[in-house]
Amino acid sequence: IRASGLSQQDGDLRHFGMAKEGLIARQVMLGVVQTAQGLPLYHEVFDGNTAEVTTLNPIIEKIVQRFPVKRVIAVADRGLLSTDNLTELQAITLPGGGHLEFILAVPGRRYADFVDLLGPLHAAQCADAAQEVLTETRWNDLRLVVAHDPQVALEAGTKRNRRIEALEQQAAQWTGKLDAQDSAKDSRARARFYREVCEAHLARIVKVDLKSELFSYGIDERALAHARLMDGKLLLVTNVSDVTPAEVVGRYKSLADIERGFRVLKSEIEIGPIYHRLPGRIRAHASICFMALILYRVMRTRLHASDTALSPERALAQLRRIQHHRITLNDSQPVAG
């Protein structure tokens, strides 16, 4: 959460760290624990330069101590998975002696590490597939659950093909204009084309020859085949042994609803930016916002149970229109309305 101010305080929580927008910013970190149904249980404020993975162990220990929890399955998005983080996660021991269980999504940048495993699975998944297909294999002594959505794969492949076709047409136009031109213009065109390729996120597939004196490029067919192999796929790594692949995927997808709670904190509740300086006031601000999130989630649950189409936002908007008046006529008993 972004934090303002340049002053330094004793025990300051505001530190420079990598914000979600990909920028270095002065911030504080907020950890929120929610149930699978999205009900907030616990929160804690951390220094703004704290690594996410280092917050898991202390929070899990506090959860087990405060609540009658016998089993913890941590579900995390693509930001947590790395070889180092997996080692740390598997080393976490719960107070009762058991190990932490987890379901982690593989980030897209690491899909290339799974090409050899996915080849045989891809053929089985894509055979006359009309809806999501689930398969499973082993990876580094862990379960690797692969979900393939053919519709998402088709849309991703079509979008990529259109981008490549547009780049090739653009390159053809520039090449025609560069005939009989000097090398300086070739260099400028090459740099401009390379920038276009990077902005299209196709640098691994469309290879621009930056060393050649002439403007030239090529399509890496192997990289293109790998990209098509990954289209529409969700890769989940887990050490949970007693659930089916469908349950693993279901638990991961429920994370989207939990993450919606963070968006509510930032949008409707407006937790940030934080304008407080003192650590105590920052923690108090976070506590008030956390209580507001609890009320928001309880309200959402009750609205859903009442079969109304109202969201908490729309319900609150209607409640704001309610007015209360007290009218007294000739010293008579006040009438409320």
Quick check: 102 pLDDT over 70?
yes
Work out the percent of the chain whose per-residue pLDDT is above 70: 88
**Which range among 18-22, 231-235, 328-332 shows the weakest confidence by mean pLDDT?**
18-22
Per-residue pLDDT reduced to its tens digit, 118-129: 766 665 555 555
Distance CA 230, CA 121 (A): 11
> Average per-residue pLDDT in the chain?
83
Which amino acid appears at position 165 of this protein?
A: E
Assess contact for 276 and 120: CB atoms under 8 A: no
Strand partners, 75: 103
pLDDT given at position 256: 80
Per-residue pLDDT reduced to its tens digit, 187-231: 777 788 889 999 988 988 999 887 777 777 889 998 888 888 888
Chain centroid to CA 39: 19
* Three-state DSSP class for residue 274: strand
Quick check: 21 pLDDT over 70?
no
Q: Which two tokens stand for residue 201?
A: 């996120």
Strands 233-238 and 142-148 turn out to be: antiparallel
Looking at residue 24, what DSSP letter applies? E
Per-residue pLDDT reduced to its tens digit, 267-316: 889 998 899 999 999 999 999 999 999 999 999 989 988 888 888 888 88
Looking at residue 100, what DSSP letter applies? P
Per-residue pLDDT reduced to its tens digit, 233-256: 889 999 998 999 999 999 888 888
Instruction: Quote the Cα angle for 248-86-73, to 5°.
Output: 40
pLDDT given at position 24: 83
Distance CA 100, CA 76 (A): 13
pTM of the model: 0.72
Residues near 83 by beta carbon (within 8 Å), at least 6 away in sequence: none
Distance CA 209, CA 203 (A): 11
The residue behind tokens 């989207």 is 256
pLDDT given at position 3: 85
Distance CA 48, CA 15 (A): 5
* pLDDT (mean) for 160-171: 90
Work out the percent of the chain whose per-residue pLDDT is above 90: 19
CA torsion through residues 180, 182, 184, 187, sign: positive
Per-residue pLDDT reduced to its tens digit, 253-279: 888 877 888 888 888 899 988 999 999
pLDDT given at position 127: 55
* pLDDT (mean) for 147-159: 90
Instruction: Quote the Cα angle for 151-156-158, to 5°.
Output: 95
pLDDT given at position 326: 81
Quickly state the pLDDT bin for 34 (edges 50, 70, 90): confident
Q: How many CB atoms lie under 10 A from the CB of residue 126? A: 15
Angle of the 83-91 helix axis to the 52-66 helix axis, nearest 10: 20
Quickly state the pLDDT bin for 135 (edges 50, 70, 90): confident
* Helix, strand, coil abundance in the chain, percent, nearest 5: 45, 20, 35
* Three-state DSSP class for residue 299: helix
Q: How far is CA 177 from CA 163, 171, 181, 189, in A?
A: 21, 10, 8, 10
* pLDDT (mean) for 65-69: 79
* pLDDT (mean) for 34-47: 85
Quick check: 84 pLDDT over 80?
no
